[in-house]
């Protein structure tokens, strides 16, 4: 079974010059943990995730060394979120993300995802985004394939 048989083709993407506010609202509204970043021609240039957005709120090593672990004002750190929303996607995105090809075997894609601790991965053909694949998509496809085979073999 190939990735193209189970990937999601209706994907939301964003440009690198979009504001984080736009991306964060889509992430929250549609419960999307990561959004591919593409150029006008569909070329994949990055991915922005909730982790990328929230990472800006974590105390820096300098903060921790100056103030000590227990003395960092986490509420003040959280208030920095307003500033993060004014940034551009290009300021926070992960560039040159790991991808899988549409003709890759689903278990090869799963191994890439598990090895890198991804739950979702962009599917690209010659650098152009063609879909997204999640571990849930893979598991569901493998489950249905095996349940159908099992059901028909018993009958």
The CATH number of the structural domain formed by 3-154 is 3.10.580.10
149 pLDDT more than 70: no
Q: What is the pLDDT of residue 125?
A: 97
Angle between helices 106-115 and 135-154 (to 10 degrees): 140
Q: How far is CA 43 from CA 6, 10, 15, 49, in A?
A: 21, 16, 10, 18
Q: Where are the domains of the chain?
A: 3-154
Q: pLDDT higher for 61 or 35?
A: 35
Share of the chain above pLDDT 70, in %: 90
Q: For residue 43, name the pLDDT band (cuts at 50, 70, 90).
A: very high
């Amino acid at each position: 079974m190939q990735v193209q048989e189970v990937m999601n083709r209706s994907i939301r993407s964003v440009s690198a010059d979009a504001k984080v506010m736009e991306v964060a609202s889509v992430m929250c509204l549609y419960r999307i943990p990561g959004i591919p970043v593409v150029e006008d021609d569909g070329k994949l240039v990055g991915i922005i995730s909730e982790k990328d957005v929230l990472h800006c709120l974590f105390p820096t090593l300098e903060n921790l060394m100056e103030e000590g672990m227990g003395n960092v004002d986490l509420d003040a750190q959280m208030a920095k979120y307003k500033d993060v929303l004014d940034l551009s996607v290009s300021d926070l995105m992960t560039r040159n993300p790991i991808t899988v090809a549409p003709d890759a075997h689903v278990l090869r894609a799963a191994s890439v995802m598990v090895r890198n601790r991804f739950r979702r991965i962009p599917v690209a053909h010659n650098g152009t985004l063609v879909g997204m694949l999640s571990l849930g998509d893979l598991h569901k496809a493998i489950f249905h394939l095996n349940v159908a085979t099992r059901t028909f073999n018993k009958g």
